[in-house]
Every structure is written in C-alpha cells, then in structure tokens.
Structure 1
Amino acid sequence: MNDEEAIGRRIAHFRKARGMTQVALAQQASISLSLLRKVEQESREATPVLIAAVAKPLAIAHLRQADRNAQALARVPALLLETTAAIHTMSTAAEREQLFDAVATVLHPTMSILHATGYDDLATIVADRIAWTAAQWGNPLAVGLAAHTRTSSMLRHGTYDVGLRLIDSARAVLDSAPTRDDTTLRMIGSLHLRAADLSARAGSAAGASAHISEARDIAEYLRVETDHLWRNLAFGPTNTAFHDVATAIELGDGPRALTLARDLRIPDGFPPTRTGHHFMDIARAYLWQGRHEQALASLQRARELAPQQTRHHPTTREVVRMLVRAHRHTNKPLARFNAWIGAGG
C-alpha cells in the first residue's frame, strides 16, 4: 500500500467513525463528491490541499466539544503525522497556509484535552509544537493562537507576569495586521479573556475587569457565538460571561460569581464541554461559600453535560476531595460521585 492509498483509506475510516456520509464530508470540506470518492477508493491521489480540506471536518476539535476525549486522542497520531508530513511537500504559499491551518486544528483541541485530563507535561509539549507551527506559518492569527496556548501552562505554573507580557506582544502583532476583520477581532477578544484569567490569578481585580470589559465590547460588536471554530478559541458573548464568572471565583469573590452565574443565560446547543467546565467552576464557588449540596449538584450537572471531561478534570477531584473532608458522616450521593471519579476514600 503506497502513501496515497494509506491516506485515502484513513480518510474513509475517520469519516465512517464520525458517522459522516461522503456527501456531508465533501460539503463541509468544500470539495467535489466525485473527488472524495476517488480518493477513498484509492484511484486518485490525496493531495496536501485535499488533506488540509478534510482535516477540519474530521478534526479533533469536534470530538473535544462533544466530550469524546478518548476517541479524539486516539486519532491524533495519524492525523498529525499525515498533515505534518504533507507540510514538507508544499509548493505554494496557499497550500502551506492551508496545511498549517489543518495542523493547528488538530493541535489546539489536543492540548485542551490534555490539560483537562491532567496531562500538563504533554500539553506543554503540544503547546511548543503550536508555537513552531505559528513560526512557520507567519500568520498574525497563528501568533495569537501560539500565545494563547503557551499561556495555558503559565496559568498553571504561576508565571502570570510573563504570560501577560506574551499576550500583550501577540495583541500588538494583531493590532498591526494589514486587515482587522472579524476573525482578527475574535482572536484579540480571546487574548483578552486569557489576560483576564492571568490577571485574576495574579490577584489583580482591576486588570481582570479591564480585560473582561474589552472582551465584552468585542463580543457585543460581533454578536456571534463561535465555540465551534478552533481559530476563534470559543470566543463569543456566552464564553465571555463564563470568564467573568471564573475570574470572580479566582479573585475569591464567591457571592459575585454566583450572582453572575444566576443571571447568565446559556444558549441552546452550546458546546457541552464548555458549559460543563462552567459548572465545575460554579462548584468551587459554592464550596467556598460552605454550600456543599449545591457544590455537588453543580458537579453532577457538569457530569450530565460532559462526563469524560468532568471525571478526569483536576477541578472535579479537588472539589470532591474537599467535600469528602468536610463530611464526617456518610453522604451517599457524594460517596457515589467520589467512587465514580475513582478518587477512593
């Protein structure tokens, strides 16, 4: 089996695994149905441009948002190998940009999954690969994506000032871009949200508030939810509101966080992983207010929305550990939840 045959068969395998018809994939990838059929039947070469086109509809981001983390990670090696190898065969700038775009489509949600499931060291390696991809791509949006991903580890390691400087540098690149279209604005908005997270962790309420305000202005101007697009980093009015709640929690203002959460209206069909993460955050706020039943109820709601993410996320384990410690007497719902995440006694 030659390389083109291998890629054609893998495309068919990934398509069927996602439950997609050839018609649906061709439409989403903006390629002809006859071309896709020939590639899958191994009678036509799978060119780098075609690989880039089908990588997005088949990509990890869709599985990540559907809380199918294990399935997503299982597909990463083959997709990443094929798209990365194809980069070295590029002959035009347009082909190169399409493929770097496809690689980023795989890498960014992969890093999110690794962080969410506690594999921070592996996530850092993926973030470094994203930075390399951005450097090769040479696109201002890629610079923004690289800064956003690299600061994920800075949030966890406490290097908040370094992270804020990196975000400022990336925003300067985007501000000087030749065009300031909606996609650029969404990336800038996403960077403001990350800066709000960093500021809150650093204890700067003023800094967090200023960045949330900037993000909210952009979100209200665009008026579109974009949680289904990797490049936009889940930026939109609802995700901005989620970050407003989360930064209040990080600043230790539980009452404000719960008030904001109470007034927040989540649109129908919003990605379950993002909404589930919000309820995990709310569980922390309830815990700090001594409202243990509500904290557990929030975790149970997160479980309903995104069970894989909730089961493995460090926030879940920390909240459950504190709840178990606070309950001297048997609490059957808590005991069942504790057993479900496998935390033991």
Structure 2
Amino acid sequence: MPMRDDWHTGARIREQRRLAHLTQRQLADQLPYSYSLLNQVECGAREASPALITAVATVLRIDTSLLTEAKTMTHLQRRRLAALMHPIRAAFDLFDLDPDRAAETAPLSELAATADAVCRQVRATRLRAAAEELPGLIVGLTHIVRTRPETEAWRALASAYRTAHDIALKVGYPDLAAVALDRMGWAAERACDPCLAAVRQYKRALARQESEELGHRLVRAGHALLAGETTREALAVAGQLHLGAVAVSARAGNHKAVAGHLEAARDLAAQVGGEAGDVHWLSFGRTNIDLHALGAQVRMRQWDEGLAQARAMRLPPSMLMSRRARYLVDRAVVEMETGHTTASLRHLVEARRLAPEQTRYLPGTRDAVSGLVHTMRRPPDGLTHLAAWIGL
C-alpha cells in the first residue's frame, strides 16, 4: 500500500466519512448531491465546490476547516503550543544583549543540574514540563555567560539550546529548532567542547531533508571535529553521526550508503561497549542502531524487511521512552503497510499510552492513522479517537 500523499479535499471528505462510519451511499443520501458526484470528488476526479464542502460538513457535524486545511493538530492545540513556545523564542533573543547586572539568578551549579534535568525530561517524553522550564533556564545561563563566563556555564547553555531544538522539532516548530541549533553552536564553540559541537552537526544533518549531499557534508564536519579524539564519549558521538548519515541516506533511497553507515556505527558500538546512554543522551549502542535500521526501512518503504526487523526487536527495560515511542510508531506503520491493521492500531494505542506528547506529533503517527482509516472498512472506536486526537 502506498503512503498517502493525496491530501486534496476529496481525500479528507473520504477520511471524515469513514470516521463517521458512513458509506459513500449513506453520505450521498443525506446530501443534495448525487452519489456519482461524491464518488468523483473523493477520488480526486472532480473538485469539491464550497457548497458541497459545507453540505458534507453539516451532515458529518464537523467544521469545514477539517475538509479544507491539511492540519496535523486542532486550532486549540496550535494555540496552546504557541503559548508554550513563545517564552522560549523570547529567551533566545537575549544571547547578544547587554545583561541586566542587577538581576539575580540561580547559582551555576543549580542551573547546570536543571539543564541536565530538562534533557532527561525530553527523553522521558515529558515535553511540556521541559518546555516550561527552558525559558528561565536559558535566561539564567545567558546572564551568567554574559557576566562571568565559565566553561561549565557555556556547556550547560549549549545543552539547554539542544533541548530547545529537540522540543521545537518534536512539536512542529522547525524554524525555532533551526535558531536553537545556531545558538547551540554559539555556546558550544565558547565551551571548547568538540563533542557538543559534533552533536550539533548531527542535529543539523537530520534537519537537512532536501539534500543528501548537504546532510553528508554536515556529518563529515562532525567527524572532523572529533579527529584524534579516542575517548568513549567521542566514539559514541562519532557513531551517532553515522546514524545521522543513515537517516540522510534513507531519505534519498541510497541503500548502499545506508548499509555502509550502519556497518560503521556497529564497529564503533563494539569499541564503546554496551549502551552509551550517559553520553549526551544519545543512547548510542546496538539497540539504537537497530532502531535506526528500522527507521531507514520505513523511509525506504521496505515494508516486509521492516516488519521482520520490528517483530524481531526486543527493547531493553532501560530504553528511553522517546526511543520506545518512536519504535512503536514505526512498527505501527510497517504493520499497517503489510495489512496487519489490528496490530498496527494496537501499537499506536500503546505509543499514545506511554508517550502521548511525543506520539501526537510524530509524522509516522499521522501516516499510520490515516492509512488505517483508508484501509479499515468500519474504523473501530479506538481508531476514531486516535484520529480526533491528532486532529485528522
């Protein structure tokens, strides 16, 4: 089954009709339009008129915007997110302003501990709690580096910006995520920390979806920063850079490059030994490599291989919740694409239970839910609730 890219109005009418448990004939019987016209609109052969859209929305008891806007969340969800992200954006603007020297701030040791704690919250998928902590954290650390700069302060500030990037990307604010990476680079350079700087290049590579060449250049730049470094930390970051290259190559459908970078990552994992969950919260190790291999199969539409990989995996209890949720969503996608709709829905429900804040915004969640709506003749209540939850 192909992934859905037909987000025309007719396709959205079809989805909303199925969520209402109506056949085309049943909906047409309640409209002042023919069954033939509805059929043509749903398949994209004819354009839906404003009057037809209004009539369908009235029968289905939904807002017309659900049929005319390609949304990944409701307007209420967007407003709440905007209110959450605005203070973070404002905190970013302080980086080059003269500090208020009379302002009081928490001790550096306390702020550094908070920087680590918010990073841990993101890995536990408590995105809202982390986002609420970030503005004050960034303001405090920015004040310190502008008044009495210390390496530890610069390192903590780089970590805070990295966390801001992760949150912004997860909730659909790519512009803010890009600014966060710029600020992370500014702080990491002053911290003189090659591993932090290399982690930034890894994040930049993942964000460059439009160009495989640029993504690989960023990965190579990250490896250059680590040249001559032989610590366990540097080896883990180098391995994670290879996993970034896996994602870059998979998006381009470059099977050979994917295989090569997975092999290089496995070689480095053997040198690191065990799961390096303590290294910049990257969780680099064999399990994370397997998760990236599964993600690559999803991106390259290798559904049968992905299904076998997903079903063979056994995640350790220590696996970070963010990684566990991503696995469940990727597995839901491959189960759906290979016709195992009940299993797919089960994994989506489990992902929502374990990590609701992250699962709602993962692109794979929308792909899987939409695919199930298209596939299941009469969507069960669980699917209907999931569709409403993500704003489908």
TM-score for the superposition, normalised by structure 2: 0.70
**C-alpha distance after superposition, 1:211-253 (max 9, x if no partner):** 1111112112222223354x25221221111111111221221
Give the aligned residue type for 1:333: G
Deviation at 1:73, TM superposition (A): 0.5
Contact conserved, 2:373 with 2:379, CA < 8 A, in 1? no
Q: Aligned residue for 1:163?
A: 215
Q: Which of residues 241, 244, 251 is equivalent to 2:290?
A: 241
Written as runs of structure 1 = structure 2, the 5 A alignment for 1:94-105 is: 95-96=150-151, 98-105=152-159
Larger RCO (CA under 8 A, 6+ residues apart): 2
Deviation at 1:5, TM superposition (A): 8.6
Distance in 2 between the 1:80 and 1:53 partners? 11
Unaligned runs of 5+ in 1: 9-45
- 2:263 counterpart of 1:189: no
Distance in 1 between the 2:135 and 2:364 partners? 28
Contact conserved, 2:205 with 2:245, CA < 8 A, in 1? no
Give the aligned residue type for 1:186: A
Give the aligned residue type for 1:261: A
Written as runs of structure 1 = structure 2, the 5 A alignment for 1:287-302 is: 287-302=336-351
Q: Aligned residue for 1:253?
A: 302
Deviation at 1:318, TM superposition (A): 2.7
Q: Aligned residue for 2:124?
A: 66
- 2:368 counterpart of 1:309: no
Give the aligned residue type for 1:74: E
Contact conserved, 1:51 with 1:83, CA < 8 A, in 2? no
Distance in 1 between the 2:332 and 2:296 partners? 14
Contact conserved, 1:223 with 1:237, CA < 8 A, in 2? no
Runs of 4+ in 1 over 4 A off after TM superposition: 2-6
Q: Aligned residue for 2:376?
A: 327
Q: State the structure with more CA Rg.
A: 2
Unaligned runs of 5+ in 2: 1-99
CA distance 1:220–1:312, shift in 2 (3 Å):
same
Contact conserved, 1:117 with 1:312, CA < 8 A, in 2? yes
Deviation at 1:149, TM superposition (A): 1.7
Written as runs of structure 1 = structure 2, the 5 A alignment for 1:1-345 is: 6-8=104-106, 46=107, 48=108, 50-51=109-110, 53-57=112-116, 59-90=117-148, 95-96=150-151, 98-155=152-209, 158-175=210-227, 177=228, 179-229=229-279, 231=280, 233-343=282-392
Higher helix share: 1
Give the aligned residue type for 1:162: L
CA distance 1:262–1:138, shift in 2 (3 Å):
same
Deviation at 1:195, TM superposition (A): 0.4
Distance in 1 between the 2:163 and 2:283 partners? 11
Contact conserved, 1:186 with 1:232, CA < 8 A, in 2? no
Distance in 1 between the 2:167 and 2:277 partners? 15
Contact conserved, 2:206 with 2:248, CA < 8 A, in 1? no
Deviation at 1:55, TM superposition (A): 3.3
Deviation at 1:52, TM superposition (A): 5.3
Deviation at 1:272, TM superposition (A): 1.1
Give the aligned residue type for 1:265: R
Give the aligned residue type for 1:7: T
Distance in 1 between the 2:361 and 2:248 partners? 23
CA distance 1:151–1:139, shift in 2 (3 Å):
same
* Aligned length in residues: 293
Distance in 1 between the 2:225 and 2:361 partners? 36
For 1:266, what is the secondary structure of its paired residue? coil
Give the aligned residue type for 2:225: V
Give the aligned residue type for 2:249: S
TM-score for the superposition, normalised by structure 1: 0.78
Distance in 2 between the 1:66 and 1:232 partners? 11
Identity of matched residues, %: 28
